[in-house]
Amino acid sequence: MTDPKRGAFKGLLALLRPFRTIVTVSVALGMAGGLAITLLLATINNALHSSTGMTQGVILSFAALCVLALTSSIVSDIGTNYVGQRIIAALRKDLGEKVLSAPIEQIEQYRSHRLIPVLTHDVDTISDFSFAFTPLAIATTVTLGCLGYLAYLSVPMFLMMVVAIVIGSSVQFIAGAKGIRGFDEARDQEDELQRYYSAIASGAKELRIHRPRRYRMNTHRIQETADRISDIQVRSVNIYIVAKTFGSMLFFVVIGLALAMQAYNPNPDPAVITGFVLVLLYMKGPLEHVVGYLPIIGKARIAFARITELSERFSSPEPHLLMDGSEAPTPVVHSLELRGVSYSPPPVEGSQPFHLGPINLSIKQGDIVFIVGENGCGKTTLIKLLLGLYQPEAGEIRLNGETVTDPARDDYRQLFTTVFADYYLFDDLVQGSATQSLDSAAKYLERLEIAHKVSVKDGVFSTTDLSTGQRKRLALVNAWLEERPVLVFDEWAADQDPAFRRVFYTELLPDLKRLGKTIIVISHDDRYFDIADQLVRLRAGQVVHEMEPA
């Protein structure tokens, strides 16, 4: 794997490439503005010691340099703002596409408490850095211009200043290395804090009825982690502050040495010493401006590394996942088949490795198939293989007798409507090719006994703030409206009351079957197993029983 920091900067340069003309012009104008400021200082110093005073030429030069400095700075900042905003937008879109097109296993392994900070905090950090190009260019140009003018005034004093800058830069380099280590450690802790925030939002009910756990979560996790981040950040930034203050003191040391040199000079030149002190005092501001950006640059390097890590982890996108949103052609599903399919999920630390298969399974059009077995036996993994979400390590998936190839995998997935046990309920209705209109939703809401809670307006549910069971009914409305040929329900009835559970098994599933739908159900409700056309029982990743109930 490439070095994350190097890869991150290469990624930033790639983002800059489409705007290279604007960036070049902005930086050039920024440098021109910095040079104009340096020339203004020289003009002021010369005017102070000129025997002719403020001549018309000096006044015109002064005015022209002021206009140049002002205009170039404004135009440069506008260009930087434009490029910075476009870079951030491009970065956000690129990361969104990477997440959308990544294989599902990679998404499941890269936990949301790590993913969300990258998409928000790290992108914002780079945003801060992306707006620093022009100010840095101006400050650097002013500094270099001032050094050039110092060399023109007095080579010995210029060399003395160069030595001071080398010493100060060495201190800044050492401070930067230590500061970046601290920022990296703080960024790790921010991932942990995000995990705790997710826990207190998702586990709000449990925490309110368990005082010791609530206290431990607040005191020993959130507060301690927040304090740890604060302490690390304070310590890291303080390193930069000490180094910056040391650099500031070097300026006054150099000024003192310059005054001493002039005191022992038999032929002192007031214009030289005045110009030297004037330029040095002015140069202190831009140089400190450059130094002040070092913590931002340090944090940006860490953010770049995290984004690069995510990009490399999601660097194997599935083909065709970012095609247009049109519905794929929906063939008649005469049969679905798994032939010798095997799969081993990525190992989880602290748990035994799991292997599913080899699995042989054949499903005919209009079948109601129940997949049953104890928890952890591989039911949901089998479903994800059948849906084409996981790619088999061995064996093949067949549709109507034809092997499902990688290029056709996304089209194959469009045959299914799913309600997973850990489903996400979208509030908008995306209807398929259907003869039904969205008005059909009202009929389904009535039948599922939630019309008094939810309505549909402009293709959007009025609310999804419902009980767990009612939310699953709403997901079923979506499944109906999508009108896809195969429906998959992962323990859909587990959150329903006994009366509606009976309705689901004895009325809704048979109705869907009469419409020609193929239905696959993960279930523990053994009293309704007789409804299935095919019963597939799993144990420890193996099919131990397959039958068609009488």
**What pLDDT score was predicted for residue 468?**
83
Q: How confident is the model at residue 336 (pLDDT cuts 50, 70, 90)?
A: very high
Tokens coding 243? 């180094």
Exposed, middle or buried, 155 (CB in 10 Å: 0-12/13-18/19+)? exposed
Residue 299: inside a domain, yes or no?
yes
Residues 6+ apart with CB under 8 A from 177: none
**Is the N-terminal amide bond of 358 cis, ω within 30° of 0?**
yes
pLDDT tens-digit series, residues 284-297:
778 777 777 777 77
Residue 549 neighbours by CB under 8 Å, 6+ apart:
529, 530, 532, 533, 535
The pLDDT assigned to 1 comes to 43
Out of 153-157, 264-268, 493-497, pick the least confident: 264-268
Per-residue model confidence (pLDDT) at position 353: 83
Q: For the segment 372-418, what is each residue's pLDDT rounded down to a tens digit?
A: 988 888 898 999 999 998 989 999 999 998 999 888 888 898 899 88
Tens of pLDDT, residue by residue over 98-143, are 887 788 887 777 766 677 778 777 887 877 777 776 677 777 777 8
Q: Contact, 131 vs 25, CB < 8 A?
A: no
Q: Is 8 in a helix, a strand, or coil?
A: helix
- Assess whether 165 and 67 both reside in one domain: yes
Beta strands at 356-364 and 416-419: parallel, antiparallel or unpaired: unpaired
pLDDT at 535: 92
Domain end point (choices 313, 347, 368): 313
Residue 324 located in a structural domain: no
Number of domains in the chain: 2
Mean pLDDT of the chain: 81
Which residues form the domain of 457?
335-547
Domain end, chosen from 249, 279, 313, is at 313
What six digits make up the tokens of 321? Answer: 């996942």
Shared domain for 207 and 116, answered yes or no, is: yes
| Cα dihedral 66, 67, 69, 74 in deg (nearest 10) | 140
Is residue 459 in some structural domain?
yes
Task: Give me the percent of the chain exceeding a pLDDT of 90.
Answer: 13
What is the per-residue pLDDT across 70-106, written as a single tens digit (0 to 9) for each? 888 888 888 888 888 888 888 888 888 888 778 888 7
pTM of the prediction? Answer: 0.68
On the question of pLDDT at 436 being above 80, the answer is no
- Residues near 19 by beta carbon (within 8 Å), at least 6 away in sequence: 82, 83, 86, 87
Residue with more model confidence, 276 or 429: 276
pLDDT at 52: 65
pLDDT above 90 (res 520): yes
CA 539 vs. chain centroid, Å, equals 39
Report if residue 57 sits inside a domain. yes
* Chain position carrying tokens 């202190």: 284
Give the mean pLDDT of 455-461: 79
| 203 and 352 fall within a common domain | no
Q: What share of the chain is helix, strand, coil (3-state, %, to 5)?
A: 65, 10, 25
pLDDT at residue 434, rounded to an integer: 41
Work out the burial of residue 129: count CB atoms within 10 Å of its CB; fewer than 13 is exposed, 13-18 middle, 19 or more buried: buried
Give residue 400's pLDDT.
Answer: 92
Q: What is the pLDDT of residues 501-511, one digit of tens each?
A: 898 999 999 98
CB distance 388 to 413 below 8 Å = yes
Claim to verify: residue 285 and residue 389 sit in the same structural domain = no
Q: Among 313, 343, 369, identify where a domain stops.
A: 313
**Are 164 and 269 in a shared domain?**
yes
Same domain, residue pair 399 and 508? yes
In a domain, 390, yes or no: yes
Report the C-alpha gap between 257 and 70 in whole angstroms: 34
Q: How many CB atoms lie within 10 A of CB 205?
A: 8
pLDDT band at residue 432 using 50, 70 and 90 as cut-offs = very low
Quick one: pLDDT at residue 183? 83
Q: In which band, very low, low, confident or very high, does the pLDDT at 319 lie, cut at 50, 70 and 90? A: low
The tokens describing 376, both together, are 């952890």
Q: Could you tell me if 22 and 79 are in contact, meaning their C-beta atoms sit under 8 angstroms apart?
A: yes
Check residue 50 and give its pLDDT.
66
Per-residue pLDDT at 332: 84
Among the ranges given (102-106, 291-295, 298-302, 428-432), the one the predictor scored with the smallest mean pLDDT? 428-432
Residue pair 192/225 in contact by the 8 Å Cβ criterion? yes
Angle at CA 103, nearest 5°, toward 482 and 485?
20
Coil, helix or strand for 402? Answer: strand
378 and 305 part of one domain: no
**Rounded to an integer, what distance in angstroms lies between the CA atom of residue 297 and that of residue 132?**
9
pLDDT digit string, tens, across residues 348-364: 766 778 898 799 999 99
| Rounded to 5°, angle at Cα 385 from 383 and 388 | 110
**Same domain for 294 and 347?**
no
CATH number of the domain encompassing residue 364:
3.40.50.300
Task: Specify if 322 maps to a domain.
Answer: no
What local confidence, expressed as pLDDT, does residue 543 receive? 86
Distance CA 354, CA 542 (A): 11
Query: Does 37 reside within a domain?
Result: yes
CATH number at 17 reads 1.20.1560.10
Whether residue 374 is found in the same domain as residue 247: no
Instruction: Let me know whether 113 and 144 are in one domain.
Output: yes
State percent of the chain over pLDDT 70.
Answer: 89
Question: Does residue 487 sit in helix, strand or coil?
Answer: strand
| Closest C-alpha to 493, from 514, 507, 483 | 507
Q: What pLDDT does residue 372 have?
A: 92
Distances (CA, A) of 76 to 16, 39, 41, 337: 16, 19, 21, 62
pLDDT band at 4 (very low <50, low <70, confident <90, very high): very low
Residues 128 and 260 in one domain: yes
Per-residue pLDDT at 246 exceeds 50: yes
Residues 280 and 385 in one domain: no
Residue 319 included in any domain? no
